[in-house]
Amino acid sequence: MGAASTAIAVATTLSTLGMLGFAQLMERFLPRASTRQVLGAIAFVGAFSLFLGWLFSLPWLTLVLALFALCDSYLIGCGRPRLVAVKNLIHALSKFGLVFILPIDWAWGIPTAALLIFYCFGTLPKRKLYLADVSLYFTHSVGWLLAQMIPGLVTPLMIKETGLDQAAYFNIAWVIVNTSFVLISMLGGPFVAKVANADANMAEATRTLIRIIAGVSALRLIGVSALGPLALFVYGTDYAYHGYLLLILMGIAHFIGGPFYLYATLARIFGRIGYPMLVQALSSAAVIALIWLLLPSWGITSVGIAYLIVDSTAFLAIALPLKRALQRALREPQPTAAPEPDPAITPDPSH
């Protein structure tokens, strides 16, 4: 159980790195790209993730996880966000059912590979995207991704400092946390794709996004903090005993982190992701540093403490920029004044 859950954690981290910045690029620019460009991006992600997985003896699992995650962005870019929800719901239910009859890595890998069929439900574009149009956005997206990758060091750090047994307790609990991360990550893409349309109502879409993020943040709080510890009993009382406090703290941290995700999504629209990328990078580095400092005293609970401290600090760091971004996003478009009628051609109603 411990080795398998660790393999999933490592493969998930590698698959995220394997996508580079192509996921964000597809969500934002896919309708303006060509068929060759889209297929080339998918092929590159597949080859790169396969190479990364091969380096850690996890080639097939890393490959299917990367392509599965990229499929979300592909469908969003194609204007099919509902299919993303359907795909991920089937995936979650399949994993939950198969984990009782298969090893945990196979319970994850088999449905992940099977659901790649959802690529067939997208529509390939017929235009052409020029490099100059996306180079800065892609560079920032890669930087954002690398900043988010830093917490992937938590698992090997846990193994090194606590041993495989404690790492197993952590990884089982972290499966629940990762599910919460996936849930929130699904929200920004459809919004970005929608407001990229010139006819979109930015203010209305932003209000909808605020309501959704608020609801999902509350759901993450309840799901991770309250239901998560109960789910650990499926794996045994030892897992519940060692992981319940970690999940409670992570649920609270996820709730506090909702506004940051809202700000990051708006920054993607306005093309100003440099500051949130910097905050994300510093936050990720701070998480690792705090875990390393707290691990000898608090064990795996140190991860929850670190995230709670860092997410609270990040909220304070983005509070004012978020306020400004919301003021801009919620500004209603001014109606265009109708032209004054020409008295020379306007009939006199008195005649």
The CA-to-CA distance between both ends of the chain, in Å, stands at: 91
Rounded CA-CA distance 227/240 in Å is 11
- What is d(CA 328, CA 226) in angstroms, rounded to the nearest whole number? 36
Say which residue, 338 or 100, is predicted with more confidence.
100
Under DSSP, the state recorded for 273 is -
CB 60 within 8 A of CB 184: no
The span from the CA of 304 to the CA of 252, in Å, is: 9
Report the pLDDT value the prediction gives residue 332, as an integer from 0 to 100: 62
Q: Dump pLDDT digits (tens) for 12-27.
A: 878 888 887 788 778 7
pLDDT, tens digit (0-9, with 9 covering 90-100), for 234-277: 888 888 888 899 999 999 999 999 999 999 888 877 877 788 88
| Amino acid sitting at position 231 | A
- Residue pLDDT, tens place only, 116-142: 888 887 777 666 666 655 666 666 667
Structure-token pair, residue 215: 């609801």
> What is the per-residue pLDDT across 13-69, written as a single tens digit (0 to 9) for each?
788 888 877 887 787 777 777 788 888 889 999 999 999 888 878 889 889 999 998
Q: Output the six-digit token pair for 299.
A: 């064990």
Task: Specify the pLDDT at position 67.
Answer: 92
272 three-class SS: coil
Kindly report the length of the chain.
351
pLDDT digits (tens, 9 = 90+) for 183-194: 787 777 677 666
282 Cα distance to chain centroid: 18
Chain-centre distance for alpha carbon 341: 53
- Collapse the DSSP code of 90 into the 3-class scheme (helix H, G, I; strand E, B; otherwise coil) and give the result: helix
Q: Decide if 278 contacts 209 (C-beta within 8 A).
A: no
- Distance CA(313)–CA(326), nearest Å, equals 20
Which bin fits 163, alpha (ψ -120 to 50), beta or left (φ > 0)?
A: left
Q: Is the pLDDT of residue 342 over 50?
A: no
Q: What is the pLDDT of residue 339?
A: 47
Rounded to two decimals, the pTM is 0.69
Q: What are phi and psi of 264, to 5 degrees?
A: -65, -40
